[in-house]
Amino acid sequence: MNFDELALLTALNAPVGFEEPVLEYMAAELQVTCDHVEIDVRGNLFARQQRDPSKPLVMLMAHADEIGFLITSILPGGFLAFTRVGFPTDMVLAGQRVQVLTSKGVLQGTIGVKPGHVLRGNEARIVPPVDALYIDVGAASVEEAAAWGIEPGTPATFYGPLTQTAHPDRVMGKAIDNRIGCLSLLEIARRIHADESQQFNVVYVVTVEEEVGLRGAELAARHVNPDVVIAVDTVPAGGTPDLGSHELPWTIGAGPLLKVRETNGLSTHGPLRKLLREVAAANSIPYQLIVDTAGITDGSAAQQASGNIAAAVLGLARRYSHSAVEVLDLRDARRLVDLVCAVLPELKSREQLLRIQLPK
């Protein structure tokens, strides 16, 4: 799992509705390893490696979009009012550095914070509401900000370059959710492409608008009509001092996450979950079973596209979700890629996906 490529992917700014930079990168890379690449009007990207149509059609998916902001107006003095897109965490916003993505280029800015010297009493301990916050890009007036290309609807993202920690496998930065999923898809596609003996039937799908309600995934699954869906996404991790072991009993560095159920969402298809566990055990790949997380993934939406989809979610634990400094252990992603590449040869027929075998 290449740090430099993940750094490149996370540096691409692609908030919901503005996913083009990630889609363009993924399309260029997948064209190297896949037989056919296409995109729908919504923005979902499809890349096919179809070597044996008799095998079950497997759809591997990850979302391109990241959380962010939209400018709503320019305030007197050149400050920017904004709203959230995809639920950045309120408590981390004040004082955070951001990038405003204008048609004329990227502007560096910060979300303003009232000076500590003038805060009084409980005010110093209250998280300000989003509608009380503003972005400062250094403009001196409304006219100057407008001249720089800022207008209502201009998107913005956190500024958080991917950074290597002292631990050789642990990194932190913005948009790890879900650029690590995108990179995992690329690694799987490259590994399969390099081994011509592997005769699979795979479609890699990069979805849009996941962070605002899984909007691209169901459309994508209807387009592909797969037998199997495996969604790759990040999941909030436990293992930190502020979380009890009962709250999120999984952590970074202990292997990919195999979801049994998502809160108000997917229940992983039983035969597929069993197969993933058997393959992991046979290949000594550590993994973590998890039940109910703080959210749901594209897997839940894709599963509902038809009555003939066996769906599973493979997660990657990451700390400090929806902030500019998400923390990930790259070993988890490497093991996830190993697991997917090991399970694909074992998906040999559609019949093995049936939850019960009817008597003959």
- Residue numbers annotated as active site: 210
Distances (CA, A) of 193 to 81, 86, 190, 265: 47, 34, 5, 33
CA distance 185 to 68: 23
> Which of 215, 326, 315 lies closest to 263 in space, CA to CA?
315
> Which of 202, 277, 274, 276 lies closest to 46 in space, CA to CA?
202
In the numeric block, which tokens belong to residue 185? 């898809």
DSSP state of 192: H
> Which of 23, 19, 339 lies closest to 184 in space, CA to CA?
339
CA distance 88 to 69: 8
Cis check: omega of the bond before 178, within 30 degrees of 0: yes
CA distance 94 to 134: 9
CA distance 231 to 228: 10
Q: Find the helix packing angle between 330-343 and 176-194, rounded to 10°.
A: 40
Residues 6+ apart with CB under 8 A from 46: 37, 38, 39, 40, 203, 204, 205, 220, 223, 224
For residues 318 and 327, the answer to whether their CB atoms sit within 8 Å is yes
CA distance 298 to 210: 7
